[in-house]
Structure formats: C-alpha cells, structure tokens
Chain A
Amino acid sequence: MRKSQREIVESSRVITRRGLMLATIQAAVVTVLGLKLRSMQIEHADEYRLLSDGNSIKIRLLPPARGLILDRNGMIIAGNEQNYRVTLTREEAGDVSAVIARLRRIIPMSDRQAAEILAEIRRRSAVTPVMVTDRLSWPEFSSIALNAPALPGVTPESGLSRSYPRRGDFAHVLGYVGPVSDYDLSKIDNPDPVLMLPEFQLGKVGMEAKLEQVLRGKAGARRVEVNSAGREMRELSRQEGQQGATVQTTLDAGLQNFVAQRLGEESAAAVVIDVTNGDIAAISSSPVFDPNKFVRGISGPDYRALMEHDHRPLADKTVQGAYPPGSTFKMVALLAGLESGVINTGTRFFCPGYITVAGRRFHCWSRGGHGTVDVIKSLAESCDIYYYELAQRVGIDRIAAMARRMGIGVHHDLPMSAITEGIAPDRAWKMARYQQEWQIGDSINASIGQGYVLASPLQLAVMAARVATGRAVAPRLVRAIDGIQEPEPDFPDLGLNPLNLRAARMGMDAVMNSSRGTARRMRITAPEWRLAGKTGTSQVRNITAAERARGVIKNEQLPWNRRDHALFVCFAPFDAPRYAVSVVVEHGGGGSAVAAPIARDIMLFALAGGLPPLSAYPDGERAKVQEMWSRMDLMPSAAPKTERAKA
C-alpha cells in the first residue's frame, strides 16, 4: 500500500506541530528542574553545607593525661602508665565467637570471661566497640596487633591509666582514682563532658579526690568524620588535651616508705611534720592497701578482705582517727595552767597515788604515788595527780581553749578525705552535746587526755610542733603546683610566755633524757639530734573500782580491741627543733614501750635523711634496731633528680 504524497506531507505536518508542542512541554520541565537545581545548589547551598557537615563531622573528646603527683624530691608517687587494651566491634567482626576463639589463643581467658564478653557484645549496638580485655602485657598486645588480619573487628588500643609506683606507701594520703560512677555524676552540678568517657578515671578519695580539679587537666578534642552508622572514617583535626597540673607534695618518699614499714601490720598512724614550715614529710596509716587494685577494679574477695580486716586498712587513721590523747595532752593542760597564772613554773603538788574529788577516787598510774612533783617531773614521770590538781584550779574552759590553740579540736585544712576535728571539750560543748552540766570529774579526766578529749594523730603532731616552736605551725601537703611554689608560710607566734613554753619543752626533754623519764630507754644518744617527747597510754575501757582492788588486768591478757592505745609525740633536735612526730598505735599497750620506739626510729630516719648511724641509739637498743632494719625492705634512697633541675 503506497501512501499518497499528500498524506505524507499531512502526517509530517502533524508530527512536526505535535513534536514541537511536546518539545515545548519538555523544555518547560527541564527549565523547572534547572531552576530547582540552581535554587538548591546556589541559593541554599550554605544551609545544606551546614547540614552535611553536621551529618558527617563529630567531635570526639580526648581524655587529658592526669597530673602527676610528686614527692618533695620530684619522685613520681602517682603517675600514668600505658594501658594496653583490646576492643571488639561486632559489625566488623562478623562471626564474633570465632574471633574470640582465635583471640583466646593469644591472651588467656576463662570460659566464663569469654561468655561474659560474648553476651556484652551481643547486648551492645553493632558499631559500639566493647572492651574485651585490658592491662595486657606488651608481648600480648603486639601479638594481637600482628595477628590483626585474622582478627577482624579487634582493635588494640592504648590509653593512660593511673598507677601508684609506691603501691601502699601513699595509699591513704593520695587515695586513688576509679571509673566515674552514676553516683559521682549525681554529685556534680555541671559535669565536665570528659567524665562521660568510658575509660575516664576520677579521684575517689584522698588527695586524688580533693585536688581533682587541679589534676584533671583539660580534655582535647578530635574532629572526626563518621559514616551514617556512626563509625569513624578518618580524623580531620586533633587538638591534644592539656595534662593536669603536676602537684609536688611535701612528702618524702623515702621517709614515707620507712614509716609504712616501721608501722608494719599494726593498726597505727604516724605523722611527721617539718616544724619550720609545716610540711608534712610523712603521713602514714597502717595497715596499708594497694591503691592500684582499686584503679583496676578491685575483685570482690580482695575488697571483702579489706572491709572485714579488724585493723581497718581502708581507714586513714592519721586524719580520720580520733583518739583519747592520754598523757600526750599533759603539755596542753600544763600550758593552760601556766599561761592562766594559776600555777607557775615553780608550783609543786604532792602525789599520794590517788586523790578523792567529790567523793570519787582518781588514781595516778603509779599506785605508790610520785611524792612531791614539780612541773618538769610531772611530765617526765607523767604524774596524773599533778594534772588533777591543776585541772581543778584552771577549769576546763581554759584547758579547751589552750587545746584549740595547740591545734586540737580544730580543723586543719589538708587535701585529704574526712579530716576529723577531734574534740576539745568544754562546758558549752557538753551542754550542747549531752544537755548536761560539766562535772569536776570531767575536768580531771580531760586533764590527762581521757574522757571526752579526742585528737587525731595529725593534731598531736601539730601540737608537738607548736610546743617545739611556740608558733602556730599549720600542716601542709602541697609544696608546688605546676612548678609554682606555694608561698613559704610565716607562722604567727602563739603568744605564749617563752618561759612557760620552755618549761613544757624541758619536761618533754626530761621524759626522754632524765634518769626517771618514762621513755628514757627510747632516747636518742646523738647530742645533735636530742629528742624530746611525751608518752601516752589511753584507756579504751573503764577500770572499775572492783578491778582496781583485784589488780588491774594486764594489757596482754585483754583481747586486742580492749587494750590501751599507745601514743607518743616528740620533736627533735631539742635545741633547734626540725621535726615533730606523732605515733598512735591502736590497742598497742603502753606508749613508752610501743609508740615511743616507732616515733624515735622515724625521727632519726627523718633527721638523718636515711638510716641513721647506730651510735645514735642507746647501747641497749642497738642490737634490736639492727635486727629490725635487716627485716625491712626499704626503697633505694631517692636521690634528688638532677635531670629535673636541668630541665
């Protein structure tokens, strides 16, 4: 069938007309598309660019390295160590159990651990890295890195973790860090976002907690590109965090180590204060524990063992323990009497062994009595009757006031946890506390540091330092922060009559060095380190009249927790005091027999800057001391770090 020419022309005309109409419609559509493209890509490009960046760029915090804590010589006592750990991401791992099985050939893992990790990985989102294990040794870590191709999804990471190289030595004063708990966060109003990082460590107790803000430092940040699943693709920029400030303490690592070992497994506390500037050279509570265990997450059995130990290793007895100071309080009572003018340095009282006040008998520790007792003898032989007489005349309020002047019953501001104020009781205190009138018997008990009087070992050391100097010595723990020295303190004079102070010091000297002194055996024979001290034995139970009639039960026959506390305070050298030391041994027995030798050894170590020559000890003590030294495992003496000085 041939088509006519007319028909061909007609159909061409139709197609051309309609084709052009169609082209017009198509052109309109294309124009709309082009305009929309223009509007999005040129007019609104900035808005979309912002959205795009917001999609793909995330800020990740970099935890700052925690500030170091140094001893007075620049030795690191709280540092940071590399912690090698391994994380696993489900999305990349594929067959998680197969990967873990392969991982177990490199690092030891119990079946239970493996099951726990597997459950944790299944529970978390596929892209969240889950920690498989940490604290790997370098060989394990590098072996995992080497086997990376066979371990998909396994990422070896290294980060910093707190470590305490001196282990237990500084356990109580420094405290420890641990993972941030919900409870920690609830206590902070506006928590630093860095606290939310899973591996972040927060100071929990002690100096670590109190100086948290100083030690924490500033978090750095990384800008990373993430994909739609939130996985990191690459790092765009990195701003390192700022390490926390280095805190140089007043502590002496060598001395602290000696003190901790000297206290051993006793339930005891010792404080060494440099009387010239208040620097705490050592402050130790025993038994100690290893703070590193807390950083790593202490195991249940380990924690229970610490909690159930009757010597309470977790308590910091140096500042948290409040003990009846016993006879170590006598300097306070004496100075209260002397300063008030009720007695003078020549006043004598007669000690018949007991006195009766308000129908009640008060005994001296010496049943036979001391006879005529003067100021010096009252301290040297620790006559109780002298202070009973004194207390009745001076009154409790003046004794309490003197106690506070000497640092007992007041707060000493140190970066440590739960510092006790102790108690310097007076009439108002008893009324407020018990709604009872003060009784004369209360004064008598208080005069020899019993009854309501309570003091911490720190306060006793401060008292000894104040007696030694006559100045309001205040203890301090921080010498410098980030190299900026704390100002050298200039302690105000206590305003005590120098003659009265001298009497108290001479009394303390006589305790050690007079022929009838209670701690004569514990004297220091080296004349340049002459020791002055005061013993104390404080009862933790009442001795009834009936028991006294039968004969007081010997400490050794009592259960441990019913025995007397043994206390000792001292300072040396007598002529130019440098250190004051206090020692409290809980339920240790007699102050002169138990606490005094510890304090003497600590004092000698502090003065000599290491183990002293044996000649400093009396003949009779040398063999015992040498034997004791041989049992100790002391740290090598920390020589001042010269390389730090160069830097």
Chain B
Amino acid sequence: MNYLDYQVAQVPTGWRKIFHLNWPLVFLITAVSCIGFLMLYSVSGGNIEQWAAPQMKRFAVGVVLMIALAFVPIWFWRSISVAAYAICVLLLVLVDLIGDVGMGAQRWLVVGPIRIQPSELTKVAFVMTLAAYYDWLPVEKVSRPLWVLIPVVLILLPTALVVMQPDLGTSIMLIAGGGIVMFVAGVSLWYFAGVIAIAVAGVTAVMKSRGTSWQLLRDYQFRRIDTFLDPGLDPLGAGYNIAQAQIALGSGGWSGRGFMQGTQSRLNFLPEKHTDFIFTSLAEEFGFVGAGSLLVLYVLILGFCLHSALTNRDRFASLMTIGIAGTFFLYFSINMATVMGMLPAKGSPLPLVSYGGTSLMILLMAFGIVQSAHVHRPRG
C-alpha cells in the first residue's frame, strides 16, 4: 500500500499520536520487564547494581525509543526496509570478518563505545523487508515458484552469514521468523509441506546411515548429535545444566519457594541464571503461579499484536506485526522448552526478562515499529 492509500487526514498527527498507541501492549511489555527486574535482583542475591539497575536503565531508554519509533509514520519504515536489509547484510559480513569473539562465536561489532549484535538487528530488518516484499507483490502471484524463490533467497542470505559466525540458534530463528511471514502472506501450504518433508527425509537419511556402509557422518559426529538430543547421556557436561534447571523448576511447586529463597539459583547450581536460565529462577521462587503468569502475559502480548495485525488493513503493517510477534513467540517458547528439557540446550534468551542490552533494545524498538503500525493504521 502506498502512503497515498492512507486516509491521511484521519491518521493522528503530532503529539496526539500518544493517545493512539497500543497502550495495553505497552503495559504488558512493562509488566514482563518488571518481572525481569525482580528476577535479576533476586538471582544477583539482592545486589541491585549487578544486573537489575543496568537492565532498568536500558529498559527506560528502550521504552522512550519505542514510543519515539511509534511516532514515525509506518510508510517510512516500509520505505527504508530494503536499505535496512542491505545494511544488516553488510554488518553481518563485517562481523564475520572483524567481529569480536564472545562465547566462542563472532557476534559483536564494536564501534567506539557501541557494541552491536547485527544478527539481532537482522531479525527485525528482514521481517520488515519480507513484509514490504509481500506488500508489493500482488496476492495472486504469492505462490508462484519464482516469487517464492525471491523471499527464500532473502532469508537464506543472512542465515548463511549467521551460520558462519557460527550461531546455529539465531539462524534457525531467522528461518522460522521468515517462514512465519511467508506463511501468513499466503504462500501455498504445499511449499511448507515440501520443505518439512525434505528436512525430515534428510535427517532420517543421515540417522539411518549410521552403522551402514554409506554412513554420511563420522561416528564422533553422531555421538555429538546424541548428546545434543539427549543431554542425559552426558550428565556432567551439557546434561548437568539442564538437570539442575529442571530441579529448580520442579522444586518450585505450586507457589514457589519465595522471593530470593530459591536455593538452586542462589547457590549457583543454575548456570547462566541471569540470562538463558532466568525462567527457572522465576519458576523456582514463584512456582507454577509465577511461571504460569509470565506465560499468560506473553500470550496476551501475542494476542494484542495479532489483534492489531488482523484489524489493520495495511498489508505491510499486518505482515510485519505478525512477523515480529512470531519472532517474539519463537524466542520465549524455545527458551521455555529448552529449560524444561523439551529441546536441546541452545543459548536463547527469555525476551524482555533475560539480562542483555542488545536484545532488549532491539525488541523494544521492534515493538516501537509494531506501535507505529498500530498508530498509523488506515482508518475509515
């Protein structure tokens, strides 16, 4: 849709836009973030300076940014999406070449005092690009092979760069995030069925080849896959963290052990308790009530996003909102499934709760664009 399509006269202007923000979404985001501050305070053992205070500062900046972005007309975002995509790909190439090594992978780009994680930025930028692409593409062409190939290339290019970092988790997120946009845009289900079938067949072939004359991987690679799939096979290595996380989670019971009373987190049995495993601390200290509440808050955020998307007649805005919400969904469901032992451990933060600057800021900025879509939706 072109900005001329909007009934511009009916779109709020100036400071009045503040009344048209998706306020329930703002409150939900704030609520989840507050749970995060509480847990960061708790797992630091009551040391607010360690994690909670920096996180709060970033949140404050992030919220201001979110509202500022919400004031920017949605057509602006659509116009820059291709440029943003190009910049992101450029940054990813830079990261592969000169990036800082952290946690055994190159993820950071340091520019003066600023440390950027381009893969985080990419998640938002390429969702916008895909949304813009489908906004531009006539609906009847969506499922034609050539028009399907273009977004696939758009997805695979940054994915390949992220894999080289190597960051398998983020690359899977990119594929899944892009897949969600394509799915909602109306790409024929047969393509999805085909991709899934090929993936299943490929994995099956590799696994079946084990022990036969045409074995596709070496033995030690299979063993690595085994422990990846079942950490229990390596109880003192990767399995230890997951086992301790499950103990923490389960021992929370109905109402938990009480604020700052979680022995698993306070006594350092939990790994990465302020980042990837913060959900276990919450579940341990506030039990099913606390953990379930967080899940409900997440679902409500999804719900408000979906509602905003489905009531928005702007195709770009709808697709982008659903894409960002879908990425958000992938974040928290993968994190929760991991700490509950349903997925193999792979570093992924709990959105809005885990300690971490870039991911929180990017997420809040992404919600800023979602807000912008909401504020500037076509009316009348």
Contacts and interface: CB of A to CB of B under 8 A. Distances in A.
- Chain A bound to chain B: yes
Interface of A: 1-3, 7-8, 10-12, 14-16, 18-23, 26-27, 29-30, 32-34, 36-38, 40-42, 44-45, 47-49, 51-53, 55-56, 225-229, 233
A97 B373 CA distance: 63
Interface string B277-306: 000000110011001100100110010001
A18 B186 contact: yes
Given A8-B313, A18-B186, A55-B247, A36 B267 contact: no
Interface of B: 1-2, 4-5, 138-139, 142, 180, 183-186, 244, 246-254, 263-264, 266-269, 283-284, 287-288, 291-292, 295, 298-299, 302, 306, 309-310, 313, 315, 318-319, 322, 326, 329, 333, 336-337, 340, 342
A36 B337 CA distance: 9
A2 to B, nearest CB: 6
Contacts of A40: 246, 249-250, 340
A584 B264 CA distance: 70
Nearest to B252: A41
A45 B313 contact: no
The 9 closest A-B pairs by CB, nearest first: A48-B250, A52-B251, A45-B253, A14-B186, A227-B267, A41-B288, A48-B251, A56-B263, A228-B268
A392 to B, nearest CB: 85
Nearest to B1: A3
Contact of A26 (B5, B266, B292, B329): B329
B250 A16 contact: no
Nearest to A16: B310
Contacts of A233: 266-267
A1 B254 contact: no
Given A15-B186, A30-B299, A227 B268 contact: yes
A30 B268 contact: no
Given A2-B2, A229-B268, A33 B263 contact: no
B288 A49 contact: no
B186 A226 contact: no
B247 A30 contact: no
B127 to A, nearest CB: 14
B247 A7 contact: no
Contacts of B298: 30
Nearest to A226: B267
B5 A37 contact: no
Contact of A22 (B142, B180, B254): B180
Nearest to A21: B183
A55 B284 CA distance: 14
A15 B318 contact: yes
B313 A12 contact: yes
A27 B249 CA distance: 22
Contacts of A20: 310
A49 B295 contact: no
Contacts of B329: 26, 29
A23 B295 CA distance: 15
A52 B247 contact: yes
Nearest to B263: A56
Contacts of B299: 27, 30
21 contacts: A11-B186, A14-B139, A15-B322, A19-B322, A26-B302, A33-B337, A33-B340, A36-B337, A37-B288, A37-B291, A38-B292, A40-B249, A41-B249, A41-B254, A41-B287, A41-B288, A45-B254, A49-B253, A52-B264, A52-B284, A56-B269
Contacts of B246: 40, 48
Contacts of B184: 15, 18-19, 22
Contacts of A225: 263, 267
A40 to B, nearest CB: 4
Given A33-B336, A56-B269, A15 B263 contact: no
Contacts of A44: 250
Given A11-B139, A41-B252, A225-B263, A19 B336 contact: no
A22 B249 contact: no
A37 B267 contact: no
Contact of A15 (B250, B284, B310): B310
Nearest to B294: A37
A47 B247 CA distance: 9
Contacts of B250: 40-41, 44-45, 47-49, 51-52
A34 B295 CA distance: 8
Nearest to A20: B310
Given A10-B139, A11-B315, A36 B292 contact: no
A237 to B, nearest CB: 15
Contact of A36 (B2, B185, B326, B342): B342
Given A34-B295, A42-B288, A7 B183 contact: no
A87 to B, nearest CB: 22
A41 B302 CA distance: 24
Contacts of B138: 7
B248 A52 contact: yes
Contact of B267 (A10, A26, A48, A56): A56
A34 B283 CA distance: 12
A12 B315 CA distance: 7
A34 B297 CA distance: 13
A18 B186 CA distance: 7
Given A11-B139, A12-B313, A56-B267, A38 B251 contact: no
Given A11-B315, A34-B295, A55-B263, 12 more contacts: A3-B1, A18-B184, A20-B310, A30-B298, A41-B254, A42-B254, A49-B251, A55-B264, A56-B267, A56-B269, A228-B268, A233-B266
Contacts of A32: 342
Contacts of B288: 37-38, 41-42
Contact of B295 (A8, A22, A33, A228): A33
B253 A42 contact: yes
Contacts of A2: 2, 4-5
Contacts of B180: 22
Contacts of B263: 52-53, 55-56, 225
A86 B91 CA distance: 57
Contacts of B1: 3, 8
A42 B288 CA distance: 7
Among B247, B302, B319, the one with the most A-chain Cβ atoms within 10 Å of its Cβ is: B247
Contacts of A26: 302, 326, 329, 333
Nearest to B329: A26
Contacts of A29: 329, 333
B191 to A, nearest CB: 13
